[in-house]
Structure 1
Amino acid sequence: MLDVTHGLHDQPDLSRFALRLGAFTATLAQGADQMAAVQRLRAARFRNRSASGDLDRFDALCHHLMIRCPPDPAAIAVARLRILTAPEDIHTSYSAQFYDLNALAQAGQRLVEVGRVCIDTAYAQDVDVARALLAAMTRITALCGADMLVGCASFAGAAPQRHADALRFLFDRHIGPVALRPGKRAGLDHFCPTDGHRPRLADLRDVPALLRMYLGMGGWVSDHAVCDHDLDTVHVFTALEVRAIPPARLRALLALAQNDAPAPSLKT
């Protein structure tokens, strides 16, 4: 059984977190059965082999958000969330494996690192599932008093040239502020298009949907991409400062996330 509480400190009590939106509920995984449901979906979406799982050393440090459609106990969308409250948390985060986050660690901000976000293929086109996932992350961010959401936004396939147009667009339009921008880590495969081609607005359609959503709310990215050969992806560090979210959008998200109806009991 995975201990999903080990290593958590200086954090709000989220044990009773529950959010209901229409037919869907959002809760945090508790116990072996629910973590197994999270793992099945992650394995299918990130590893493409459901028997092997997707556990790593960061899972025990994180909360695991599940979206379900009762009474079915299966996870139809998941996200891994870690609250980073101190510089040492940031330096030992998942993202810090790939990016030098020293500037961010010195900024004194409270972060929520978001990762392993995925939706079951059967619900990939259901906007209500995406809304439920976003509402739940908004609620948790508010409960934590976080200043910023951070993480690695991924492009499928660890072949940077396949994603050159989209990355060129990101690095031209959405690079983060120098004071917070991640540096490069030695020994990794970095990529930044330097072919001189001008980015086009049409290249935005090749940016993953989740990253487009972050950008639409004021998010920014690192000035380089990194190849992750374990997950067969190319990713960019991504940050969304809460204060940068347009006020009307933030009010709408918070309103969506204020549903306090308890989730129904689910047998797992």
Structure 2
Amino acid sequence: MAKLGFLKAGKRWLGSPAKSASPQLHARWLTSRRDILRAQRLRCRTFSEEFGIRISPFGVDRDRFDRHCLHLGVEDRTTGALIGYTRLLPGEAARRLGGFYSRSEFDLARLAELPGHVVEVGRTCVHPNYRSGATIAVLWAALARYLFTARVDYLIGCASIPMADGGAGVAGIMPGLRERYLTPENLRVVPRLPVPAALPCETGGVMPPLLKAYMRMGAQIAGEPCWDPDFNCADVFILLEVNKISRRYRDHFMAKAG
């Protein structure tokens, strides 16, 4: 469940804090048990709403990878609310666990020999009341600072495409991704459960915001998507070579990160 959670703007959870009139957003690493629990609750709410499923009866999304990950959050200082999140699994931690999370969805054999420092990103989500460019910009700036200062060579992960339309959107989006962003053959992954065939929608499909952001940064897709029947979505494997992040994004994010 390497999901990227972005609900439609304007949707609110019952009992959740409203967006402040002048939010003051900042990113920080979440290290305490309390903060990580807050993040797990945000993840659970976001993914449950977006994919229309019940993840946990306890309102918490957690797995065995959490204790080995770095947790990055965005807070609104005016309310104290945690409103954005992503987690990072460094390669050395993944080796202790027997592999990256995305290994459960893809055969990563061809990426086993990637040189240097490889980090997996996942579980990215944003509170629906803060669904704006500002939140993701703050989160991405902190992520970029980590990538550069930790000398990360490759960022990997999964981006989800909803399949509530029966897969028509996926069928419409994938041709353009294959044409413009496909990795070389030696850097391809193989989905363990291919996406069922579907006719493309008339509009060609709308690329999810985070998938589009990855492509603009200079990322590539490493092959065909994997079908996640539990969430009824297609997961596309992302490969980003950090030293090839576009100059525009590098300058923008590093300026944001100070």
Instruction: Name the amino acid aligned to 1:143.
Output: T
C-alpha deviation, 1:146, in angstroms = 0.3
| Equivalenced residues, count | 229
* 2:152 counterpart of 1:146: yes
User: In 1, are the aligned partners of 2:73 and 2:86 still within 8 Å (CA)?
Assistant: yes
* 2:45 counterpart of 1:44: yes
User: In 1, are the aligned partners of 2:68 and 2:93 still within 8 Å (CA)?
Assistant: no
Q: Identify which range, 49-58 or 237-246, moves more after superposition.
A: 49-58
TM-score (norm 1): 0.76
User: In 2, are the aligned partners of 1:87 and 1:105 still within 8 Å (CA)?
Assistant: no
* Separation of aligned partners in 2, 1:86 and 1:100: 19
Counterpart for residue 225 of structure 1: 225
SS at match of 1:54: coil
C-alpha deviation, 1:192, in angstroms = 7.7
Q: CA RMSD in A?
A: 2.7
* 2:98 counterpart of 1:97: no
- Structure 2: gaps (5+ residues): 1-22
* 2:157 counterpart of 1:120: no
Instruction: Name the amino acid aligned to 1:147.
Output: D
TM-score (norm 2): 0.79
Pick closer, same or farther for the CA change 1:109–1:178 going to 2, 3 Å.
farther
Q: How does 1:160-175 map to 2 (within 5 A)?
A: 160-175=167-182
* Separation of aligned partners in 2, 1:217 and 1:223: 18
User: In 2, are the aligned partners of 1:26 and 1:65 still within 8 Å (CA)?
Assistant: yes
User: In 2, are the aligned partners of 1:153 and 1:238 still within 8 Å (CA)?
Assistant: yes
* Separation of aligned partners in 1, 2:91 and 2:120: 7
C-alpha deviation, 1:42, in angstroms = 0.5
**What CA deviation, in whole Å up to 9, does each residue of 1:155-174 have, x standing for no partner?**
12374344210123222322
SS at match of 1:53: coil
* Separation of aligned partners in 2, 1:163 and 1:107: 28
Pick closer, same or farther for the CA change 1:151–1:89 going to 2, 3 Å.
farther
Counterpart for residue 215 of structure 1: 215
Name the % identity.
30
C-alpha deviation, 1:113, in angstroms = 0.8
* 2:195 counterpart of 1:191: yes
Which among 135, 156, 163 is matched to residue 157 of structure 1?
A: 163
* Separation of aligned partners in 2, 1:141 and 1:30: 19
Counterpart for residue 76 of structure 2: 69
User: In 2, are the aligned partners of 1:160 and 1:227 still within 8 Å (CA)?
Assistant: no
C-alpha deviation, 1:37, in angstroms = 1.3
Pick closer, same or farther for the CA change 1:135–1:67 going to 2, 3 Å.
same
User: In 2, are the aligned partners of 1:167 and 1:192 still within 8 Å (CA)?
Assistant: no
Which among 81, 88, 94 is matched to residue 88 of structure 2?
A: 81
Counterpart for residue 257 of structure 1: 257
* Separation of aligned partners in 2, 1:170 and 1:83: 27
* Separation of aligned partners in 1, 2:38 and 2:198: 42
